[in-house]
Amino acid sequence: MGEDKKVSIAVIGAGGVGRCFLQQCSQILPQYPNVSLVFISRSSRSLRVPTWNHVLSLDTWEQDLAASTDPALSPQELLDWFGTTENEIILVDNTSSQDIAAFYPDFLKDKITVVTPNKKAFSSEIDLWRRIVDNAYPNDPDGGFLYHEASVGAGLPIISTLKDLLETGDEVQKIEGVFSGTMSFLFNNFAPAEGKGGKWSDEVTKAKDAGFTEPDPRDDLNGVDVARKLVILARMVGLQIESTSAFPVQSLIPTELENCSSGDEFMEKLPGFDDEMEKVKTQAEGRGKVVRFVGSIDVAKKAVEVGVKEFDKGHAIAGLKGSDNIISFYTKRYGSNPLIVQGAGAGGEVTAMGVSADLIKAIKDCHGWKKVR
């Protein structure tokens, strides 16, 4: 199993997913006596151990961080600080920061393991993605380990399933599914397989009130979040996708509302465009189908697209409930009966679970594996 090593964990991002992650760490880390929490930061402040022999408290971290007067560290300052210990370092980035993502190659090159749900690291410019992958183990035998299960599908095993398929020699032919909990909730209620469904603007309002959308729902309705996830998976199967603008992404924002000054103004004016979405739903119903917002990757055709698509009511995608995600992997081995992963694809707890599961793998890979029985 290798020599037990001291492993130090640094966490960037302590709100939302980060808070849920740290709560889960209070159950995980006591099982690994060689592993300690040494750093927590949010946008304006940070909390770190005075020496590498100290440990931050998982019971009082919120109060301790709130009381701290230390500013947040830049990625370079954090890297410099990591250089003052011989401990193995695991950096957990719970943010969506492009600046931090841009520093992943440097962390990995310095043998620092990175665990993150940050989609931007793997879906922005392809040069950054290449440098991240090239500097991570095993492409660089001396590089840090890299885990990003929660960058697609929150806690669902999407990334790991695809890696297993590829690494065992299967040929992935197509990936298709509902990749957004927000879009799933909207369409499952707007165009249910059974029943009538509500008005589009009413369903958007319900989703917003339930916390399924961003404060400005346009950030969900523009399709970019789904497109980022498709870029990540497409690159994993070998497609050299430059960015989310390299393929068709359907936006559900009416052109007339794109320049609304706020999310509130957008929501106020959205009912005036209900007829457009109602027409889409009614036309599908006339063909015995329902509409869903999906993403698909056709590997042979090198085609990626995101948008509204019709499905027979008996199709697995048509039968989704709530805010579930569903991703189908069509491969040579599985033939016409795809491997399907389905479940909650959004929410702080399940996203944090994906990050926590990656952390456990990282601890074992860094040889901090000795567990308390």
Residue with tokens 């970019």: 224
- Rounded (10°) angle between helices 200-209 and 181-190: 140
> Average pLDDT, stretch 191-196?
90
Q: How far apart are the C-alpha atoms of 241 and 245, rounded to whole Å? A: 9
> Average pLDDT, stretch 116-124?
95
Chain centroid to CA 276: how far?
31
Burial class (CB in 10 A: 0-12, 13-18, 19+), 168: exposed
Task: Check: CB of residue 370 under 8 Å from CB of residue 34.
Answer: yes
Residue 210 pLDDT exceeds 90? no
pLDDT at res. 214: 85
Residues 300-328 pLDDT 10s? 999 999 999 999 999 999 999 988 999 99
Q: How many CA atoms lie within 13 A of 318 on its CB side?
A: 17
Residue 229 is among the residues annotated as catalytic for this protein: yes
Task: Check: CB of residue 157 under 8 Å from CB of residue 124.
Answer: no
Q: How far apart are the C-alpha atoms of 117 and 190, rounded to whole Å? A: 29
SS3 202: helix
- Rounded (10°) angle between helices 274-286 and 200-209: 110
Non-local (6+) Cβ contacts of 335 within 8 A are none
The answer for 73, left when phi > 0, alpha when psi is -120 to 50, beta otherwise, is: beta
Residues 227-246 pLDDT 10s? 999 999 999 999 999 999 99
Residue 2 pLDDT exceeds 60? no
DSSP annotation string for 88-143: EEEEEE-S--HHHHTTHHHHHHTT-EEE---THHHHS-HHHHHHHHHHSTTTSTTS
- What order of strands is seen across the sheet that includes strand 46-48? 46-48, 35-41, 7-12, 88-93, 113-115, 146-147
pLDDT at res. 317: 95
Averaged confidence pLDDT in the chain: 94
Among residues 55, 67, 75, 57, the alpha carbon closest in space to that of 13 is found at 75
pLDDT at res. 369: 54
Task: Check: CB of residue 78 under 8 Å from CB of residue 114.
Answer: no
Residue with tokens 């980022």: 228
Residues 244-294 pLDDT 10s? 999 999 999 999 999 999 999 999 999 999 999 999 999 999 999 999 999
Task: Check: CB of residue 178 under 8 Å from CB of residue 292.
Answer: yes
Which residue among the candidates 119, 120, 208, 229 is catalytic per the annotation? 229
pLDDT at res. 368: 56
pLDDT at res. 373: 41
Residue 32 pLDDT exceeds 70? yes
Q: How far apart are the C-alpha atoms of 214 and 373, rounded to whole Å? A: 42
Task: Check: CB of residue 121 under 8 Å from CB of residue 132.
Answer: yes
* Confidence band, pLDDT 50/70/90 cuts, at residue 71: very high
> Average pLDDT, stretch 89-103?
96
What phi and psi values does residue 196 have, to the nearest 5 degrees?
A: -90, -45
Show the tokens assigned to 167.
Answer: 């690494």
Percent share of the chain, pLDDT over 70: 97
Question: What's the pTM?
Answer: 0.93
SS3 242: coil
> Average pLDDT, stretch 344-349?
84
